[in-house]
Amino acid sequence: MAGQLSIAKALNDALRKSLEKDPKTVLMGEDIGKLGGVFRITDGLQKDFGEDRVIDSPLAESGIMGTAIGLALRGYRPVVEIQFDGFVYPAFDQIVSQLAKMHARALGHVKMPVTVRIPYAGGIGAVEHHSESHEAYFAHTAGLRVVTPSNAHDAHWMLRQAIESDDPVIFLEPKRRYWDKGEVGATADLALHDARIVRPGTDATLIAYGPMVKVCLEAAAAAEEDGRRLEVVDLRSLSPVDFTTLEESVKRTGRAVVVHEAPVFLGMGAELAARLTERCFYHLEAPVLRVGGYYAPYPPSRVEEAFLPDLDRVLDAVDRALAY
Catalytic residues: 130
SS3 assignment for 127-177? CCCCCCCCHHHHHCCCCCEEECCCCHHHHHHHHHHHHHCCCCEEEEEEHHH
d(CA 68, CA 80): 7
d(CA 119, CA 97): 22
Asked if residue 272 lies in contact with residue 178, where contact means CB atoms within 8 angstroms, the answer is no
Asked if residue 210 lies in contact with residue 268, where contact means CB atoms within 8 angstroms, the answer is no
DSSP state of 272: H
Which residues, including other chains, have CB under 8 Å from residue 248's CB and lie 6 or more apart? Answer: none
